[in-house]
């Protein structure tokens, strides 16, 4: 009896060690994906009903909101087959821009070219990511998840203007 339970203990200890090693390697992999590759998993703390976006005060009028003039902005962006709403986003250079991205229907992707902004857009979840566009210019964003016939045409543009030329985006 005693010998038997010692054997089980030894097995259990081994499995605990293996589980811990697996968990540690997952954490490392997620870390590498998040920081090195720039892939961000949508934040799970904010959920939204994709069928009720029009009734939600934050989502019924997607687009740019100014929080602190010239310094802090947020963008509500909806992905749907096969377009982004809005398609054009205008922000001033040098400001911190926080994007909230969700889908109205199926899974899409949101990637801003020439930046590390890249997130999966999953209906029901809100992806949150921030960026400061230091230089004025046009930054194209695209859908990175195959979503059907119009996938390749699903894109938009962020126009980053000099702060003194910024007059709002609506």
Q: Which residues bind ligand CUA (CB under 6 A)?
A: 79, 82, 108, 143, 145-147, 151, 154
CB of 108 to ligand CUA, least distance (A): 4
User: What is the rounded distance in angstroms from the CA atom of residue 152 to the CA atom of residue 104?
Assistant: 18
CB of 44 to ligand CUA, least distance (A): 21
Would you say 48 or 106 has its CB closer to ligand CUA?
A: 106
- Which of 31-64 are b and which e, b meaning 16 or more Cβ less than 10 Å from the residue's Cβ? eeeeeeeebbebeeeeebebeebeeeeebeebbb
Signed CA dihedral, 169, 140, 110, 41: sign only: negative
128 burial type by CB count under 10 A (0-12 exposed, 13-18 middle, 19+ buried)? middle
CB of 144 to ligand CUA, least distance (A): 7
Would you say 118 or 166 has its CB closer to ligand CUA?
A: 118
Would you say 77 or 160 has its CB closer to ligand CUA?
A: 77
Distances (CA, A) of 144 to 79, 130, 148, 149: 11, 18, 12, 13
Would you say 92 or 123 has its CB closer to ligand CUA?
A: 123
- The pair of structure tokens assigned to 104 is 């109205």
Would you say 116 or 145 has its CB closer to ligand CUA?
A: 145
CB of 126 to ligand CUA, least distance (A): 17
CB of 122 to ligand CUA, least distance (A): 12
């Amino acid at each position: 009896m005693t010998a038997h339970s010692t054997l089980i203990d030894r097995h259990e200890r081994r499995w605990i060690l293996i589980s811990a090693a697996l968990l540690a390697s997952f954490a490392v992999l997620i870390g590498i994906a998040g920081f090195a590759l720039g892939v961000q998993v949508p934040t799970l703390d904010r959920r939204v009903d994709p069928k009720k976006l029009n009734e939600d005060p934050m989502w019924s009028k997607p687009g740019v909101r100014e929080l602190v003039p010239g310094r802090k902005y947020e963008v509500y962006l909806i992905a749907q087959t096969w377009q982004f709403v809005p398609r054009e986003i205008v922000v001033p250079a040098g400001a911190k821009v926080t994007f909230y991205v969700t889908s109205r229907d199926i899974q899409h992707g949101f990637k801003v070219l020439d930046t590390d902004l890249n997130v999966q857009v999953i209906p029901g979840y809100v992806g949150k990511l921030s960026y400061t566009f230091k230089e004025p210019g046009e930054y194209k964003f695209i859908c990175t998840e195959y979503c059907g016939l119009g996938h390749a045409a699903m894109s938009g543009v962020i126009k980053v203007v000099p702060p003194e030329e910024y007059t709002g985006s609506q």
